[in-house]
Amino acid sequence: MLAAAVRAAEAMAPTRPHPGVETAAKNAVVGPVAALIDRISDAVRKAMGKDS
């Protein structure tokens, strides 16, 4: 059960740090949006062959 919870948290978390989002409240608001943007950016970079 714990492993499933960790996988779910990783799936919703941003893939890179975002300065200014250190508090739990800011993370709850900005985190999901930042994660979506990060994952789209990662997919575009991979599609363009710029995966580093």
Instruction: Report if pTM > 0.85.
Output: no
Q: Tell me what pLDDT residue 52 has.
A: 56
pLDDT digits (tens, 9 = 90+) for 17-32: 888 888 888 888 888 8
Cβ-contact 12, 31 below 8 angstroms: yes
Whether 40 shows a pLDDT value over 90: the answer reads yes
Number of helical (H) and strand (E) elements in the chain, helices listed first: 2, 0
- Residue 10: name the closest of 25, 26, 31 by CA: 31
Measured CA to CA, the distance from residue 28 to residue 26 in angstroms comes to 5
